[in-house]
Amino acid sequence: MTRRELREHCFKMLFCADFYSREEAESQLTEYFEAPQEDEIGPKGEIEILHLVELKDEDREYLTKRAEAIMDRIPEIDGKINDAAQGWSTKRMGKAELTILRLAVYEMKYDEDIPEKVAINEAVELAKKFGGKDSPSFINGVLAKLV
């Protein structure tokens, strides 16, 4: 699995976990792997697969460790985001944008294997896919202040 695919899974896991207490969030991370697909009924009555998780054991372990490491540092990461996001606080941000920022800040500040420019670019790509129309420029602007 590519780093981009792993990053997207990590984003989804963190996004889901953000709606729960820490204890419940950890069980949600496990649930992410145990419920391998999400589906819905499409406009023509057919089942559409929205989310399918097919991961190797090492990918699951990597994602679990990564998500837990980010959750452990949320107060610290949110402080960095609040300092960089002039006129905004993490409490006012959309969940998707906040989750993308948390993931990117973790990669920029705590993961020496990922160059800052790559972390920013990947965050902007996630924002294009999961955020609103202004999300990519917002994400880019906040992260640029942290370089």
Range of the domain at 141: 73-147
Q: Are residues 37 and 22 in the same domain?
A: yes
- Work out the angle between the directed axes of helices 116-130 and 3-17 (0-180°, nearest 10): 60
Give the Cα separation of 92 and 98 in Å (integer): 9
What dihedral do alpha carbons 116, 69, 100, 141 form, nearest 10°?
Answer: -40
Does 29 score more than 90 pLDDT? no
Give the Cα separation of 68 and 114 in Å (integer): 18
Q: Are residues 77 and 147 in the same domain?
A: yes
Reported as a single tens digit per residue, the pLDDT across 82-119 is: 999 988 999 999 999 999 999 999 999 999 999 999 99
Please report where in the chains the tokens 């780093």 appear, as a residue.
Answer: 3
Q: Are residues 68 and 47 in the same domain?
A: yes
φ/ψ (deg, to 5) at 49: -80, 120
Q: Are residues 119 and 59 in the same domain?
A: no
> How much is the pTM?
0.86
Q: How much of the chain exceeds pLDDT 70, in percent? A: 93
Q: Are residues 136 and 110 in the same domain?
A: yes
In this prediction, residue 35 carries a pLDDT of 65
Q: Are residues 62 and 35 in the same domain?
A: yes
In this prediction, residue 92 carries a pLDDT of 92
